[in-house]
Amino acid sequence: MMIVMKPTATEEDILSVIDRIESCGAKAHPSRGEEVTVIGAVGDREHVQRLNLEQHAGVEQVVPILKPYKLSSRQFAAHGERTVIEIDGRLIGGDHFSMIAGPCTVESRDQTLTTAHAVAEAGASMFRGGAYKPRSSPYSFQGLGQEGLRILAEAKAQTGLPIVTELMDARDVEAILEVADVIQVGARNMQNYPLLAEIGRTGKPVLIKRGLSSTLEELLMAAEYVLKEGNPNVMLCERGIRTFETAYRFTLDIMAIPMLKELSHLPVIVDPSHAPGRRDMVLPLSLAAAAAGADGIIVEVHPNPEEAICDGPQQIYSDAFGAYLEQVERAAAVAGKVLSAAA
Ligand code: PEP
Ligand code: MN
């Protein structure tokens, strides 16, 4: 429910409405605008309804949030504001465009540091790389684990780029927290609800990738699990979904960008690497995503993709990254966004 207060409502009225909401076990989220205060009430709908808040002093009206997701809904952002997340001086969301770049997987110190320096010099906003990898086969390389995290920490120390890395198992959360500036939740874990709640309790920024066969509503419900624990720093990521088309691995759902922005106030990031699974399609998909208003891109980059252990054919060459970024920046400018860099 959204409780819209009258412009004449006093501070006492507002505090009293908050008290009433919390008395029934719901949580109150006040948002103070220039003219009016709006209070989101999230909890058992019937309990809140029974409070008869319409009758309360200073209340203008009570409007239900019709979507099953509440905190992630656009309606919840009472004054139309969008979530802008700050990570080490870089802003994500709003008028800012983030370029998150790096290898699929941390394979070695040399491969990781070479890539980190290349993308940092070209102007990337953050560095990505997996230490724990979700592989379709249990016989494939599963990532360097703790050793991979140590290499990522070194990449950050040398370049200053914030680190985006995947958490697959809640038992690794402490280790990941020491290194990650953004926790990535992989497509295969989008509906791992205990993992999402655990990340919610850490307060660490999180990038949630859309499941291979998940609807936008399911993605927003995943975000809700994190938000509900009090962590507002959530980014949504479109990375391609399963369709009947077999010409490419996944279909990148460009329409998800404007749709998610209509449904939610959270930043929307696009992964142009995993849908095609081919390097030559990464640029056109990146341009499309940036021009369609994405708040950023997470792209795979490798110094020598022929020798990559994982996702080689889709990783762009680190020495071509600068030219790639320049083109994507121009497409982002079409949508009114400026590349996010350290302040
Ligand atoms: C990745 O980013 O390397 C990855 C495994 O992505 P996804 O979870 O989208 O498949
Ligand atoms: Mn990958």
Instruction: Report how far residue 302's alpha carbon sits from residue 162's, in angstroms, rounded to the nearest whole number.
Output: 18
What does pLDDT average to over the chain? Answer: 96
CA dihedral sign, ordered 214, 218, 224, 229:
negative
Instruction: Report how far residue 294's alpha carbon sits from residue 287's, in angstroms, rounded to the nearest whole number.
Output: 10
The token pair at 12 is: 């006492």
Mean pLDDT on 298-323 = 97
Inter-residue contact 190 to 211 (CB < 8 Å):
yes
Distance 105 CA to ligand 2 centre (A): 7
| Helix ranges (DSSP H) in 84-205 | 109-122, 146-159, 173-179, 193-202
pLDDT value at 342 more than 90: no
Q: Name all contacts of 173-179 with Cβ < 8 Å and 24+ positions apart.
A: 173/198, 173/199, 173/202, 175/146, 175/149, 176/149, 177/202, 177/204, 178/149, 178/153, 179/149, 179/150, 179/152, 179/153
Nearest ligand by distance to the CA of 185: 1
Instruction: Report how far residue 178's alpha carbon sits from residue 182's, in angstroms, rounded to the nearest whole number.
Output: 11
pLDDT digits (tens, 9 = 90+) for 81-108: 999 999 999 999 999 999 999 999 999 9
- DSSP one-letter code for 137: S
The response to whether residue 134 sits with its C-beta less than 6 Å from ligand 1 reads yes
pLDDT at 343: 72
Distance 63 CA to ligand 2 centre (A): 43
Question: For the whole model, what pTM was predicted?
Answer: 0.96
Instruction: Report how far residue 218's alpha carbon sits from residue 134's, in angstroms, rounded to the nearest whole number.
Output: 20
Instruction: Report how far residue 269's alpha carbon sits from residue 234's, in angstroms, rounded to the nearest whole number.
Output: 11
The token pair at 330 is: 């121009």
Mean pLDDT on 256-267 = 98
Instruction: Report how far residue 342's alpha carbon sits from residue 231's, in angstroms, rounded to the nearest whole number.
Output: 23
pLDDT value at 134 more than 80: yes
Distance 103 CA to ligand 2 centre (A): 8
pLDDT at 219: 98
pLDDT at 241: 98
| Ligand 1 pocket test, candidate residues 166, 192, 270, 316, most atoms within 8 A of CB | 166
